[in-house]
């Protein structure tokens, strides 16, 4: 089954590059957007250099697309004005361009960091109140709210993926709970792109099927994907993997420390 015409923002990034390679044979047209130049590698690819903050520049590339995977933005903690400018305003521009283009489905890259202050012992579900672990997490809370608004008010079908620790393999003890393998990342994206139109809005944790995970996996009625990888298979190669995690410590680990955010707050 063809996925039709799919646009990817942040296509030059780590996740964007993996998804691009996986989906190019499944689409009629793959529209690749980033702030750095990209080269089309197949006949069905087209590339655009765009700044997410430029609303007008977003409109033409999304014309005729069936779905948008929005991965672009600042990927970690930063000063709040920068996060608001790139992540929040940039997401608004993507959603508005999709609305104007008549694009049916928008998949937003959210983050597990929207709930980073829940304790390790808590199995967190997507419907629980947000507890962001920093300013980056706050920006992702805002993009989820924008997605909900555009779904409720304008009828877009929006799916938010709260992405885990995307790595080729887990490299630290926290990853044993939070790892998202490249194979599972593609699986979640594909499932979000092909979810039925009746899915008006959904938020799910995109995480591999890790034995130690903190987060609920999506119900099939919400997103029909079951992850296949488990970080536990790599535990023997990770220093400290066999030391029990503090059940009361935040799931965010070092991201929850005050100094992680304080260095980004301008005096």
What is the three-class DSSP state of 30?
strand
Q: How far apart are CA 63 and CA 67, in angstroms?
A: 10
CA-closest candidate to residue 111, choices 94, 128, 126:
126
Spatial contact of 252 and 178, defined as CB atoms under 8 Å apart: no
Q: How far apart are CA 183 and CA 185, in angstroms?
A: 5
For the question of residue 255 being annotated catalytic, the response is no
Spatial contact of 118 and 250, defined as CB atoms under 8 Å apart: yes
CB crowding 127-151: b at 16 or more within 10 Å, else e = eeebbbbbbbbbbbbbbbebbeebb
Neighbours of 192 (CB within 10 A): 27
Strands 45-49 and 5-9: unpaired
Among candidate residues 118, 136, 188, 225, the one labeled active-site is 136
Give me the active site residues, please.
Answer: 136
């Amino acid at each position: 089954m063809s996925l039709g015409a799919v646009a990817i923002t942040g296509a030059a990034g780590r996740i964007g590059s993996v998804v691009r390679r996986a989906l190019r044979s499944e689409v009629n047209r793959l529209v690749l957007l980033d702030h750095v130049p990209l080269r089309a590698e197949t006949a069905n690819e087209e590339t655009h250099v765009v700044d997410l903050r430029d609303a007008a520049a977003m409109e033409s590339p999304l014309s005729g697309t069936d779905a948008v995977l929005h991965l672009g933005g600042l990927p970690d903690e930063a000063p709040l004005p920068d996060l608001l400018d790139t992540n929040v305003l940039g997401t608004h521009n993507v959603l508005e361009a999709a609305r104007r283009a008549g694009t049916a489905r928008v998949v937003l890259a959210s983050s597990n960091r929207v709930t980073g202050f829940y304790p390790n012992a808590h199995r967190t579900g997507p419907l629980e109140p947000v507890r962001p672990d920093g300013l980056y997490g706050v920006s992702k809370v805002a993009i989820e709210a924008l997605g909900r608004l555009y779904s409720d008010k304008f009828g877009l079908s929006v799916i938010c993926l709260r992405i885990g620790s995307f790595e080729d393999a887990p490299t630290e003890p926290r990853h044993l709970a939070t790892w998202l393998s490249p194979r599972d990342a593609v699986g979640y994206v594909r499932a979000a792109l092909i979810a039925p139109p009746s899915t008006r809005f959904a938020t799910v944790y995109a995480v591999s099927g890790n034995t130690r995970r903190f987060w609920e996996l999506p119900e099939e009625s919400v997103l029909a994907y079951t992850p296949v990888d488990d970080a536990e298979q790599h535990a023997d190669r990770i220093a400290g993997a066999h030391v029990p995690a503090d059940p009361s410590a935040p799931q965010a680990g070092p991201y929850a420390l005050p100094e992680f955010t304080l260095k980004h707050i301008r005096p």
